[in-house]
Amino acid sequence: MALFTIESEFRYEIVRKVYEGGMGVVYEAEQLGTRNFVKRVAIKVVRQNYTDQQQFIDNFVGEAKLVADLIHTNIVQTYHLGEVRGMFFIAMEFIRGVNLEQFAQQLTDKRRILPKELAVFITSRVARGLSYAHAKTDKDGKPLGIVHRDVSMKNIMIAFEGDVKLTDFGIAKARGFLQDNEGEVVAGKADFMSPEQADFKITDKRSDLFSTGVVLAHLLLGHNIFKGANADESRKRIMTHPIPDFRVLDKRIDDRLNEILQRSLARDLNKRYPSADELLYDLEHYIYHQGYGPTNETLGKFIRELFGQMVPQATTDARGSTQLLERAARIVPKR
């Protein structure tokens, strides 16, 4: 029973487009409040051509409800779910930084090699976020059974201050929140899927740990060993491509780091890490067992030097995005 209810109007003004995906667009925006209150946020908007697909809208709403209670330093926080004139949107924490795909591209463009300690550090922060999400329960203490299912370079953000954030639970699996056809359709980015995901099988939290291993290998090697010419080829490579001895591919990779990669990428579920906690422990022990290792500040300094504080431009589809931008330029949700 609520003590009292506060009714108010949130108002958002769009600043610029940040990212455009297949089903939604993310904008940088300002949340405006009384007495010149301004808060910088990200606004995720459903693409107009998906607004009449009920299952997609239900899952968009389900995603917002699912992540509303995921409050962790390594997960992008959700503030508000709104609807205006039939357009659904989610207001989220704004990360002033880049995703790992942009980060990796900048390393290539600048001909820089990511220090292996920073690669392990970034991956350990992802494991921290997954550990929290996998253990999340409902208000009655029952496990939600969250599986992200889309851990990939695009869905991991690094702030210019050095914080690492997992985002986009749009195809996550969780009890009671999202409709799911797992086993009939395959969801996620093909070259970051787990073998069971690529093979249309039912997944559990260990699927996310394989994907995390793919991210770690990509950061260390500068490329994804499973990426094929198309999605089907990538899925096939995920299921059949021999897992290499990473020590041969990069001389910086020692026995212990190779063992972590091998266990993360084990196709046999009984040989893979059973939990994000165990993966996290091994990653952190690897970089801190001698008493000192990388921090958010270390990563922040590296990324600021790499990008020179620039803000990368989003890739856009000018036709569809302009229409969305005009519709979303000022959003005042229904009460």
Task: Write out the DSSP string of 12-56.
Answer: EEEEEEEEE-SSEEEEEEEEE-GGG-EEEEEEEEE-GGGTT-HHH
Q: What is the pLDDT of residues 206-239, one digit of tens each?
A: 999 999 999 999 999 999 999 999 999 999 999 9
Q: Is 75:127 a contact under the CB 8 Å cutoff?
A: no
Q: Is 81:333 a contact under the CB 8 Å cutoff?
A: no
pLDDT bracket for residue 173 (50, 70, 90): low
Tokens encoding 104: 């990796």
Task: Write out the DSSP string of 152-214.
Answer: SGGGEEEETTS-EEE---TT-B-TTTS---BTTB--S-GGG--HHHHTT----HHHHHHHHHH
**Best-predicted range by mean pLDDT (45-54, 65-74, 105-114):** 105-114
Mean pLDDT of all residues in the chain?
Answer: 85
Residues of the chain with pLDDT > 90: what percent? 57
What's the mean pLDDT in 279-286?
98
Amino acid 208: pLDDT: 96
Q: How far apart are CA 10 and CA 21, in angstroms?
A: 25
What's the mean pLDDT in 127-149?
91
For residue 79, the surrounding DSSP H or E stretch is strand 78-84
Under CATH, which number does the domain 97-307 receive? 1.10.510.10
Q: Residue 149 gets which letter from DSSP?
A: -
Burial of 184 (0-12, 13-18, 19+ CB in 10 A): exposed
- In the chain, what are the domain boundaries? 11-95+314-328, 97-307
Computed on alpha carbons and rounded to an integer, the radius of gyration of the chain in Å comes to: 20
Q: How far apart are CA 152 and CA 254, in angstroms?
A: 24
Amino acid 8: pLDDT: 54
Amino acid 181: pLDDT: 55
Q: Which residue has the higher pLDDT, 309 or 25?
A: 25
Q: How far apart are CA 98 and CA 238, in angstroms?
A: 26
In the beta sheet, which residues pair with residue 150? none
Q: Is 277 a catalytic residue?
A: no
Say yes or no: domain 11-95+314-328 is CATH 3.90.79.10. Answer: no
pLDDT bracket for residue 5 (50, 70, 90): very low
Task: Write out the DSSP string of 226-269.
Answer: T--SSHHHHHHHHHHSPPP-HHHH-TT--HHHHHHHHHHT-SST
Q: How far apart are CA 257 and CA 247, in angstroms?
A: 9
pLDDT score of 108 more than 80: yes
Q: Which of 173, 198, 175 is nearest to 185 (CA)?
A: 198
Other Cβ atoms closer than 10 A to 32:
16
pLDDT bracket for residue 301 (50, 70, 90): very high
Amino acid 69: pLDDT: 86
pLDDT bracket for residue 84 (50, 70, 90): confident
Amino acid 319: pLDDT: 33
Q: Residue 141 gets which letter from DSSP?
A: S
3-state secondary structure of 89: strand
Q: How far apart are CA 122 and CA 296, in angstroms?
A: 9
Amino acid 143: pLDDT: 87
Q: What is the pTM of this model?
A: 0.87
Question: Which position among 58, 69, 140, 150 bears the catalytic label?
Answer: 150
Q: Is 325:129 a contact under the CB 8 Å cutoff?
A: no
Ranking 159-163, 178-182, 230-234, 326-330 by mean pLDDT, the lowest is: 326-330
